[in-house]
Structure 1
Amino acid sequence: MVGQGKSALFGRMVALLALAGLAACADHSIVHKRPMASASRPAPLPDSAAFRQCTARLDAAQVRYTPLPNQNHGGGCTVIDAVKLMDIGTPTANLGAMTCPLAATFAAWARYAVRPAARLYLGSEVVRIETFGTYACRDVRGTGGTIAGKRSEHAHANAVDVAAFVLADGRRVSVLSDWHAGGATAQFLKIIHQSACKRFPTVLSPDYNAAHHDHFHFDMGGKGGYCR
């Protein structure tokens, strides 16, 4: 009887170990059947020939910039072949995504028009350029408000709005306050506006409409030669 009892006990232990082994195998198989989370792919960086040629211009001008991923935000709003300007030689506020041609043209305008004109007409250096920004997914703003269904060049990071200039002597020259003021500050604004008209395909000032009463609008759209 004792021998039979030991055999029965041994048999139960073997059975329990077998069940435990099966449970472990079952848990192991469940772990391996869990789906792996798919990693989202980053948006591609620009690599077109035109983009490389444009960034070569920025490099030659010793402009610091960061390439931005190509993005389609929907609703007709895109950021393609764009950069973020980090240093154009003059600190500039509120610059976001800009198409590379816009960025290169803006940097050249600041260097070859704004700075020399400030020294000549205002007797001081420009230490800061203030803008209202670049990319915005919106329609064109006309005299009566936005024009529905007509996307602004801002919706393609292809425009920049310039509002004011801060000088080393503490003065602040703004489009809002000084465009119609007369004197040296107005002359300075008129000169850099004329220079912009030679560089950007489209240039709008307070003389265009009320929507631009406080800034210059520069963009790379259109066929060129639109200067108001």
Structure 2
Amino acid sequence: MPDKQFAPGCGLVGTVKLLDIGVPTTNLGAVRCGEARAYAFWARNAVAPAAYQILGSELAKIESMGSYSCRNTVGTSGPVRLSGHATANAIDIGGFVLKDGRRITVLNDWASADPALRQFWDVIRRSACRRFGTVLTPDYNAAHRNHLHLEDDKAGFCR
């Protein structure tokens, strides 16, 4: 995609639009190339197989809450810090739709007592932590109660 600057520190540089990675993802805008590679690999090689093997249904789509957004990091104190979303280097995932019609969301199902759902969340979280530098879940803070934050920043931070 063409490079664009929107505000100091915010912009799209070296971004792509993921059109077909084998797993449809809703609401996904521009993402930086490293983030795109990590996301595509995670969606195809972790989420899709986990849905089938653990939940017994193929994955129909992943519901994204977006990628690029010129904003500060939510829920932090101290000096203002731009979010990874400000450079299209993060994706927020809110849920998954299975081909059998089930919709699994972070907000409603993260703390499920269902052993299969617990295993699904554990597998995809661990896989994300191996592929992204920062992975934030509802276990991190209230700001992430409804989504998984996946960021390609090499920070080695997984919560």
- Bin the TM-score by the shorter chain: over 0.9
Paired residues of 1:143 and 1:209 also in contact (CA < 8 A): no
| Large movers: runs of 4+ above 6 Å | none
Alignment match, 1:83: 16
Q: Residue 225 of structure 1 aligns with which residue?
A: 156
Q: Cα distance, 1:148 vs. partner?
A: 6.1
- The answer to whether the Cα contact below 8 Å between 1:206 and 1:216 also exists between their aligned partners in 2 is yes
Pair 1:154 & 2:85 matched: yes
Tell me which residue corresponds to 2:110: 179
1:14-58, Cα deviation, whole Å (9 max, x unpaired): xxxxxxxxxxxxxxxxxxxxxxxxxxxxxxxxxxxxxxxxxxxxx
What is the 5 A alignment of 1:189-204?
A: 189-204=121-136
Aligned counterparts of 1:108 and 1:69: Cα–Cα separation in 2 = 24
Residue of structure 2 aligned with 1:115, choices 48, 51, 57: 48
Deviation at 1:189, TM superposition (A): 1.4
Q: Which amino acid aligns with 1:117?
A: A
Give the Cα–Cα distance (whole angstroms) in 2 for the partners of residues 72 and 105 of structure 1: 24
Q: For structure 2, which runs of at least 5 residues remain unmatched after alignment?
A: none
Tell whether the 8 Å contact from 1:140 to 1:152 is kept in structure 2 after alignment. Answer: yes
Identity of aligned residues (%): 51
| Of 60, 65, 68, the match for 1:132 | 65
Out of 166, 179, 194, the residue aligned to residue 97 of structure 2 is 166
Give the Å deviation of 1:129.
0.4
The answer for the alignment partner of 1:206 in structure 2 is 138
CA RMSD of aligned residues (A): 1.3
> Is the CA contact (8 Å cut-off) linking 1:127 and 1:166 kept in structure 2?
yes
Equivalent residue in structure 1 for 2:27, among 94, 99, 102: 94
Aligned residues: 158
TM-score under structure 1 normalisation?
A: 0.67
TM-score by length of 2: 0.95
CA apart distance, 1:143 = 6.2
Unaligned runs of 5+ in 1: 1-67
Separation of aligned partners in 2, 1:176 and 1:143: 21
SS at structure 1 position matched to 2:132: coil
